[in-house]
Amino acid sequence: MGRNLPAGYREISAPARALRDGIALHSQGRLREAAHRYKFALAADERNYEALYRLGLIRLQQARYGIALDLFRRAFKSEPRSAEARHHLAVALSGLKRHEEAIGHYRAALAIKPDYAEAHNNLGHSLQMLGRNEEAVDRYREALASKPDYAEARNNLGVVLQTLGRPAEALAHYEAALALRPHYIEALKNLGNALAALNRHLEAVGYFERLLTLRPDDGQARVALGNAFLKLDRAEDGIAHFRKALALDAGDAAARNGLGAALHMLGRSEEAIAQHRQVLAERPNDVEAHSKLGDALLALGRLQEANAAMERAVNLSPRKAGFYWNLANSKRFAADDPHLAAMQDLAQQAASLDAEEQIDLHFALGKALGDTGEHERSFAHVLQGNALMRRRVAYDEERALTRFERMRRVFTAALMSDKRGVGDPSGVPVFIIGLPRSGTTLIEQILASHPQVFGAGELRDMAALAEHISAADGGVPEAVPAMSDERLRRLGTDYLQRTCRLAPDAVRIVDKMPGNFLLAGLIHLALPNARIIHACRDLRDTAFSCFSLLFTRGHVYSYDLAELGRYCRGYRALMAHWHTVMPGNILDVRYEDVVGDLEGQARRIVAHCGLPWDDRCLNFQQTPRSIRTASAAQVRQPIYRSSIGRWRRHAAALQPLLRELAVP
């Protein structure tokens, strides 16, 4: 045996010394050298527990799980009462994705050592991998009871709570993990994701940016940050991070799909299609690429291609409810549609889906069953989807309703008169305001069919400029009375610079962000010659349509009937106020009137915008352009009446809404 000894070893003490040196080398991360020493000790005694166990740990670190499994089995035979050997044997099985077997060994380790925090934690992981999430929660809590400063268990408990649709609870555990370990990369990433799930995207951005200062080359974090920017309607910021992720890895499908989504958000849907097709050229079964490709095709009115892409996504991932929701928005369902049957089958297994998937499924079934005329069952799913969604969103109702009151209090007739005409004099902007689902997309499509008009979609530019005032001057509306004429004019000019680059030659540019109804007074002061069109619709139909829709972002007031009713009531009062202090400056266009007299209302809209009449405005459904709202498929059809009075079928269930609206 002496011929194989490292230099300086004596034969009698060599195995013991090799083991000691192996432990020292192992602690320094010199795994290859440590493994050599452990093997030397095992050559002298193949049942040497310490050498078997420690060599097994190295193989785990190297993800050589099969070899590690054999070593821990041998170690366990040498020391049957070793909870550590039994535990790490289970870890090796987990690495091989043999979680059922692993669970038995974790439990055996805990029978030997009940307060073994790491075994509780890893048992939780295997249970989680098998979808046994509630049991996993109990294991992580046991780990923390034994070891309160166990950052990994805190993080893992957060992950499983988030999977169970409890992101607010998850948040607390991620924060606790970071308090224990401030540079914990996974906890930073998970905290950002939890904040995003709670629609707290601005806070999520902060954590992803903090993570990237620690690990600039983390492509996943770049993509997560890009997606958070998309939720904030900051598509250009998102593009920057998706491109950085692609610079790190040109084959990063998530980054390329994110880039496509950002381009689509900017109205560059053809470019978006090219990005998703590039992903599919390399990964034909990339389900996200098919789904996002469908979104972009739908926006361009290529309905058959869009439907095929979305069906492909569903067929590739039949348990991903979000793809059914996308499909539901692209077509009308028939009673014998196989995808409707698949959704109903999936609903029988809803408990196995995470909360987000359950929400998507309920809204998709609500839409599909409504298409087939099963209105009672449809609304039952809508109610369930909204109840689940309401638990996931952070909505400060008092703040929202108080904002209506603040606008009315500050934007008085005297203020509007004193500052009349001081803003940028351009007549290019046209603002379509109102509530979502009130006909804003239809009005925009009529106008965008005019050759002198560019329909820009829902722009966040005015809201972003208003937020800047909020940060710098104490807030809108309170800061407005003290704003100089020059400041108001610059506000209007800044808005024009942002928007006119979208269509430099357009006579009119339409911004159809519905939520700009809150800022109508500020818009008029900053851009006194801008046209403002208020899309009106029976509030009962508008609210019911909002309640039936799962918004991709924002509109957090819409998931509870009473809250929705109070928000609609506040909106109604604010719009009445704008008409009082800005008489004659806002054109009300009722959806029901457009449906009843398309040409008459279209001529009225075009005239309000100071444009000559063009017959193409009557054939709006044929206008090729990108439409990025839930109405994208609907406005590709000729005018129809079936959406009028939809609320009546559900009048009894809508009583919380109707009471707040103070209508029968």
How much is the pTM?
0.76
Give the per-residue pLDDT at 224: 96
At residue 47, the pLDDT reads 94
Report the alpha-carbon distance of residue 44 to residue 140 in Å, rounded: 41
- Structure confidence at residue 207 (pLDDT): 96
Distance CA 337, CA 368 (A): 9
Token pair recorded at residue 100: 């059922």
pLDDT at 472: 59
Rounded Cα–Cα distance for residues 195 and 227 (Å): 12
**CA 35, 38, 40, 43 torsion-angle sign:** negative
Please give the structure tokens belonging to residue 236: 């250009």
User: Is residue 435 within 8 Å of 516, Cβ to Cβ?
Assistant: no
Q: pLDDT tens digits for 448-493? A: 999 999 999 999 899 999 988 866 567 899 999 999 999 999 999 9
Residue 275 corresponds to which tokens in the numbers above?
């990005």
CA–CA separation, 561 and 657 (whole Å): 5
Judge contact between 635 and 477, C-beta under 8 A: no
Nearest CA to 558 among 357, 392, 319, 408? 392
pLDDT at 2: 40
For 634, phi then psi, to 5°, come to -65, -40
> In this predicted structure, what is the pLDDT of residue 633?
53
The β-bridge relationship of strands 586-590 and 531-536 is: parallel
Structure token pair of residue 36? 């050599």
pLDDT value, residue 1: 39
For 586, phi and psi rounded to 5 degrees?
Answer: -120, 125
**Of the candidates 59, 63, 62, the residue with the CA atom closest to the CA atom of residue 74:** 59
Farthest-apart Cα atoms in the chain, separation: 105
pLDDT in tens, 552-580: 778 999 999 999 999 999 999 999 999 99
Q: Name the nearest CA neighbour of 191 among 183, 178, 179.
A: 178
Taking the C-alpha atoms of residue 489 and residue 633, their distance in angstroms, rounded to an integer, is: 38
Q: Which domains does the chain have, with CATH numbers?
A: 217-317 (1.25.40.10), 333-348+355-391 (no CATH), 399-661 (3.40.50.300)
Q: What is the chain's mean pLDDT, rounded?
A: 93
Question: Using CA atoms, how far apart are residues 396 and 101, in angstroms rounded to an integer?
Answer: 47
- Sequential DSSP letters for 107-126: HHHHHH-TT-HHHHHHHHHH
- Give the H/E segment covering residue 531: strand 531-536
Assign residue 439 a region: left if phi > 0, alpha if psi is -120 to 50, beta otherwise? left
The encoded tokens of residue 471 equal 């940060």
How many Cβ atoms sit within 10 Å of the Cβ of residue 351? 6
The pLDDT tens digits for 174-197 are 999 999 999 999 999 999 999 988
Low-confidence ranges of the chain (pLDDT < 50): 1-3, 11-12, 636, 664
Query: Which two three-digit tokens encode residue 235?
Result: 């598509």
Please write down the long-range contacts of 572-578, taking CB distance under 8 Å and 24 or more positions apart: 572/539, 573/404, 573/408, 574/404, 574/407, 574/408, 574/517, 574/518, 575/517, 575/534, 577/407, 577/408, 577/411, 578/411, 578/517, 578/520, 578/521
Are the beta carbons of 202 and 524 closer than 8 angstroms? no
Please report the pLDDT score of residue 296 as a whole number: 93
The answer to whether 513 and 411 are in contact (CB under 8 A) is no
How far is the C-alpha of 481 from the C-alpha of 416, rounded, in Å? 9
* Sheet strands side by side (includes 531-536): 453-455, 508-511, 429-434, 531-536, 586-590
